Structure 1
Amino acid sequence: MKKISILLFAVFSSLSCEKDFIELQPISDMNVNTFYQTEQDMNQAVLSPYESLHALYDQPFIYMGEVRSDNTSFSWVPGNSKDMVSIDNFSDPLLSDNSFVLSVWNNSYNTVLRSNIVLDKIDGVEFTNPALKEQYRAEAHFLRALVYFWLARVYGDVPIVDHELSLEEAYVLGRSPIEEVYDFIVQDLEFAEENLPDSYSDVDIGRATAGAAKGLLAKVYMTMAGYPLKRGDSYYQLAEEKALEVINMEAYSLVPDYESLFDVANENSSESLFEIQYKKGGTDTGSPWNNSFAPRFSDNEVVLVGDKSGFNAPTESMSTAYAENDPRKSISMSDGYISDSDGEFVAEKYVTKYYDVSFSGSDNDNNWIELRLADIYLLYAEALVRQNKQLDVALTYLNRIRERARNSTGGGTVPADYPAFGTQQDFLLAIEEERRVELAFENHRWFDLVRTERAQAVMSAQQATVNGFDPGAWSDNQLLFPIPLQVIQSNPDKITQNPGY
């Protein structure tokens, strides 16, 4: 079901200054001072940051979370795009004028701005239902926290913006320490989980829920426990507790078949905590991934309608990470396709997880699943293992993921359940590998490697094999992206660059 996307399009189409309202920069005096008068006005304002997530999830977040990792690469780039190559190839300098680095920054703060508008204006609006007012406020807190979680992991220290800024305020605002950024994220999510409903019906399906806030908070705590904050066991315990709260919610359960998770007819399923909603049909609310990930020079063998871009192509190590006959591989990716022209096999890997037939161009119906229960199961198991407690429970949840995979479409006798592990390190590596194949192409891999301090070992080896990278040239500066040059130039007295750029 795609309720929220349809409503979003209707909301923006109904406004007389559609482009100005969607971009919200600059904001007209009429919008700021006179628009937010009723509950319906505030509902439209709340939907605005949901809509702005599209610009982040369409491509840039994929480059940060997948292409930067050992999961995927670019099988084709337009011309000699240094902006793409430098994200993928650690031997190429990642420059501060990279267009994708700037895009993530600008579109993230656009979403923050839209969320802050809700929080700044809502107190002045009278609601007949006080709980609805708190729900809208909580949605804005959740969306702001989600974006700040990305900002913190991509850039490290970033400016904390908790209200609409005047020009004078903007020029004195610098980067906040990452500890403060994460504490800000936690505060937003704690408010959200207390004031969001467990579920919605009808047109509101797809809005943030209490389960989404709890799940994101579990993920945030896991990250705070690891690199770079290294808050350790106390935060692994917080992650464990919050993950278990999600697991115990009646609203969520693993879907029986892995393939059905990514079926456009089964979106917002019982496994889904939060999805970015898309709707094809020529309304600019469709998703691009089926076309973006298709081999550039394929014809109708991979996609039936629209473009083929060759982005986010699985690596060889991703292909071999799956156990033999693991049905998740054929559901998630392909090692190539049969050419229609000559019947020969073309060994060009591509992602199949987001298949749909485009309406036109790159206009598909796939939602982006940002949070799902399998992710929470694996985080819960990892939190327990890192505390070296309830290892039998951790193994049970790890094997529930394996069991679902084994019984999915195309399954066989593997992947078998994991036996008890001899060491904590073996257990953690198994969870790492299970997260890789279960959550492949969902933007988790790079950040998993960073928070567990496994990025140097994994990426140095992979880059040495694929791109001729000298492992001795590794620097932990590569764990963050540069602050965009344009941002520094706009406020050089307050916005400084990350080390190494």
Structure 2
Amino acid sequence: MNKKYFLPLAIAAMIGVSSCVKLTEDPRATLTPGNYFNTQSELDGAVTSAFRALAVDGAWGFTSKMTSYFGSDDLTTHPASNKADSREFDRLQGTTTNASMRSEWEGPWNTIYQANNVITNFEKVAATTNEAIQQRTYSGGQAYFLRGLCYFYLVRTFGALPIVTGPADITVTPAREEPAKVYELIIADLKKAAEMLPDKWTGVNVGRPGALAARAVLANVYLTMAGWPLNQNSNYALAATEAKAVMDAGKYDLMADYLDVFKTNNNIESVFGLQYNVGGQLPNRSFGATCIPDDEGGWDDFFPEINYFKDAPVCKRTDQTFHTQIKSNKIGVVRWDDPRTATHHPYYNKFRYGAGDGIVETPTQVVSFNASTNKTTDIVRFAETLLTYAEASAMAANTVSDDAYEALNRVRRRAGLPNIVKGLTAVAFRDSVVNERKYEFAGEFGQRWFDIVRLQLLPKVIARRDPNEFKDLPLNPAAVANPGPKYIAPIPFRDLNLSPGWTQNPTY
């Protein structure tokens, strides 16, 4: 008997919202599923459409994908301008009607919906040769990967979720399931993807997720489950096992130069990244203009907090990460803290370039910049896998192995830092790894925020905030007194309102 699954009314309705995006794939990929996958090319179109749905501006193609993560110390924004949505969460004052937060909710749900269509129907495509069966299996594996990845971001951002694994129907609203149940699905999906996919794609398919990408995400899943809210310490060992498998495969490595990670696409360090093409009407707007200061004519969407920058280690990576000499189009080149600048903050250097199509500048002036680039958004970098292994293996064994030290020190040496001296306790070593992650992934799509959440570091982050950090825009005093509920974002008002039986997350 076929089992029927249901999408909440608002989730199903929002599929129509994305129709304003001009897609070039087979339009049947976005319809209610039926027996329409008759050929592998149609199936390929459906998978491509699922990736595209996640990559668009209204999903993960712009900085709005991390709106609710602005409570982190690596993200703040302009005190005025049109940045109200980011400012809400930067002040720990996020609301259910925040328009930009919808990208965090709708993008993954749209992709889950389309991945479910593929998972339900891919085996219906006729395949009479081993090669055809393999290609069909690869399509299904990518859909499992996407569904697991999207649920992973949703559960860390919004907490309890409906579990939807089949065709959509708007007549019934499923209940929100607690994170532990959601993680069961995530693990199953990523394991299934790892079984069905090649280790790593090459050639024209470079950039698509392979089995090693699924295992790298799974390592992060287990590491996250070892922290808040599940606190399942047994998952440290599982995280270490998955990360070590990716390391031992020998398919990935660190780029020799840190800054080249952010100037090139699908490099040796990119385990999985979303692909972009300006000419194909799929621009990435998370690079270039978005992090260029207003003083230089940029959009000024995000930059680091003052003490986050001041606490950064003195090394080559820090020099490459931050932009500290503002090339003002009015007053010339000045330090970031010059009182004549608009925000008195340093900025991010590493996001200025795109894939060679971001900014054009001289030592003294910004010549031009683009708001739309072809830069891949790296969701998983090999540096993450190394640091996941280092932390997880130490915490699992309650001692630090030589391999764990070496995994951490590989990242540090690339940064221009000395090796961590051996002899640390497991917890002290864990703290060193977390601090390394803090700057290795500065400003990168939720990386710092998710560490803050799983280790419940928000009180420390708040306490370290510079008193001059836009002091005319104070933090939410209730959140300062009780930051716990702010680890989870609110369910968007429209979706909550159209989903009978759901209750809002606490304090929203």
TM-score above 0.5 = yes
Q: CA deviation at 1:333?
A: 1.9
**Alpha-carbon contact 1:96-1:482 (below 8 Å) kept:** yes
Question: Aligned AA for 2:346?
Answer: K
* Residues 400-459 of structure 1: per-residue CA shift (max 9 Å, x gap): 1111122xxxxxxxx222112444433222111111111112120010111122222223
2:448 equivalent to 1:450 = no
In the other structure, the counterpart of 2:490 is: 482
Per the alignment, in what secondary structure is the counterpart of residue 273 of structure 2? strand
In the other structure, the counterpart of 2:7 is: none
- Paired residue for 1:322, among 306, 312, 321? 312
- Paired residue for 2:348, among 343, 347, 351? 351
In the other structure, the counterpart of 1:62 is: 66
Structure 1 window deviating more from structure 2 (35-44 vs 384-393): it is 384-393
Question: Aligned AA for 2:269?
Answer: E
Structure 1 window deviating more from structure 2 (126-135 vs 368-377): it is 126-135
* Alignment partners' CA distance in 2, 1:344 and 1:124: 62
Question: Aligned AA for 1:211?
Answer: L
Summarize the Cα distance change of 1:282–1:14 in structure 2 as closer, same or farther, 3 Å threshold: closer
**Alpha-carbon contact 1:74-1:310 (below 8 Å) kept:** yes
**Alpha-carbon contact 1:52-1:110 (below 8 Å) kept:** yes
* Alignment partners' CA distance in 1, 2:453 and 2:65: 16
Summarize the Cα distance change of 1:472–1:440 in structure 2 as closer, same or farther, 3 Å threshold: closer
Question: Percent same amino acid at aligned positions?
Answer: 27
In the other structure, the counterpart of 1:309 is: 299
Structure 1 window deviating more from structure 2 (137-146 vs 386-395): it is 386-395
2:296 equivalent to 1:298 = yes
**Alpha-carbon contact 1:278-1:287 (below 8 Å) kept:** no
* Alignment partners' CA distance in 2, 1:390 and 1:163: 43
Summarize the Cα distance change of 1:465–1:154 in structure 2 as closer, same or farther, 3 Å threshold: farther
* Alignment partners' CA distance in 1, 2:330 and 2:111: 45
Per the alignment, in what secondary structure is the counterpart of residue 148 of structure 1? helix
Superposed CA RMSD: 2.3
Equivalent runs, 1:141-180 vs 2, <5 Å: 141-168=144-171, 171-180=172-181
- Paired residue for 1:377, among 363, 386, 393? 386
* Residues 24-45 of structure 1: per-residue CA shift (max 9 Å, x gap): 3xx3x7xx44642101000010
Equivalent runs, 1:86-97 vs 2, <5 Å: 86-90=88-92, 93-97=93-97
**Alpha-carbon contact 1:402-1:416 (below 8 Å) kept:** yes
In the other structure, the counterpart of 2:3 is: none
In the other structure, the counterpart of 1:412 is: none
Q: CA deviation at 1:317?
A: 2.1
Summarize the Cα distance change of 1:463–1:450 in structure 2 as closer, same or farther, 3 Å threshold: farther
Summarize the Cα distance change of 1:389–1:34 in structure 2 as closer, same or farther, 3 Å threshold: same
In the other structure, the counterpart of 1:386 is: 395
Question: Aligned AA for 2:318?
Answer: K
Question: Aligned AA for 2:24?
Answer: S
Structure 1 window deviating more from structure 2 (457-466 vs 369-378): it is 457-466
Q: CA deviation at 1:341?
A: 4.1
In the other structure, the counterpart of 1:279 is: 277
* Alignment partners' CA distance in 1, 2:146 and 2:174: 22
In the other structure, the counterpart of 1:101 is: 101
**Alpha-carbon contact 1:337-1:345 (below 8 Å) kept:** yes
* Residues 201-234 of structure 1: per-residue CA shift (max 9 Å, x gap): 32211111111000000000001111100111x2
Structure 1 window deviating more from structure 2 (101-110 vs 363-372): it is 101-110
Q: CA deviation at 1:111?
A: 0.8
**Alpha-carbon contact 2:137-2:196 (below 8 Å) kept:** yes
* Alignment partners' CA distance in 2, 1:148 and 1:460: 32
**Alpha-carbon contact 1:398-1:431 (below 8 Å) kept:** yes
Per the alignment, in what secondary structure is the counterpart of residue 268 of structure 2? coil
- Paired residue for 2:375, among 345, 366, 371? 366
Question: Aligned AA for 2:116?
Answer: N
* Alignment partners' CA distance in 2, 1:498 and 1:61: 20
Unaligned runs of 5+ in 1: 1-10, 300-307, 407-414
In the other structure, the counterpart of 1:42 is: 43
Equivalent runs, 1:250-261 vs 2, <5 Å: 250-261=250-261
**Alpha-carbon contact 2:400-2:426 (below 8 Å) kept:** no
Summarize the Cα distance change of 1:246–1:14 in structure 2 as closer, same or farther, 3 Å threshold: closer
In the other structure, the counterpart of 2:204 is: 203
Question: Aligned AA for 1:338?
Answer: K
In the other structure, the counterpart of 2:115 is: 115
Q: CA deviation at 1:361?
A: 5.2
**Alpha-carbon contact 2:55-2:282 (below 8 Å) kept:** no
Per the alignment, in what secondary structure is the counterpart of residue 380 of structure 2? strand
2:194 equivalent to 1:184 = no
- Paired residue for 2:418, among 412, 416, 419? 416
* Alignment partners' CA distance in 2, 1:250 and 1:389: 26
**TM (normalized to structure 1)?**
0.85
In the other structure, the counterpart of 1:338 is: 327
Per the alignment, in what secondary structure is the counterpart of residue 220 of structure 1? helix
Per the alignment, in what secondary structure is the counterpart of residue 313 of structure 1? coil
* Alignment partners' CA distance in 2, 1:240 and 1:217: 10
Structure 1 window deviating more from structure 2 (126-135 vs 155-164): it is 126-135
**Alpha-carbon contact 2:276-2:376 (below 8 Å) kept:** yes
Q: CA deviation at 1:316?
A: 1.2
* Alignment partners' CA distance in 2, 1:123 and 1:310: 47
Summarize the Cα distance change of 1:345–1:245 in structure 2 as closer, same or farther, 3 Å threshold: same
* Alignment partners' CA distance in 2, 1:145 and 1:463: 38
Summarize the Cα distance change of 1:224–1:286 in structure 2 as closer, same or farther, 3 Å threshold: closer
In the other structure, the counterpart of 2:439 is: 437
Per the alignment, in what secondary structure is the counterpart of residue 189 of structure 1? helix
Unaligned runs of 5+ in 2: 1-21, 337-344, 360-368
* Alignment partners' CA distance in 2, 1:465 and 1:98: 26
Question: Aligned AA for 1:124?
Answer: K
* Residues 55-82 of structure 1: per-residue CA shift (max 9 Å, x gap): 33222233334x2210120025434x54
Per the alignment, in what secondary structure is the counterpart of residue 75 of structure 1? coil
**Alpha-carbon contact 1:159-1:174 (below 8 Å) kept:** yes
Question: Aligned AA for 1:365?
Answer: N
Question: Aligned AA for 1:269?
Answer: N
* Alignment partners' CA distance in 2, 1:33 and 1:422: 58
**Alpha-carbon contact 2:35-2:121 (below 8 Å) kept:** no
* Alignment partners' CA distance in 2, 1:336 and 1:73: 18
Question: Aligned AA for 2:256?
Answer: P
Q: CA deviation at 1:280?
A: 2.8
- Paired residue for 2:24, among 13, 23, 29? 13
Summarize the Cα distance change of 1:358–1:423 in structure 2 as closer, same or farther, 3 Å threshold: closer
* Alignment partners' CA distance in 2, 1:374 and 1:47: 27
* Alignment partners' CA distance in 2, 1:464 and 1:341: 28
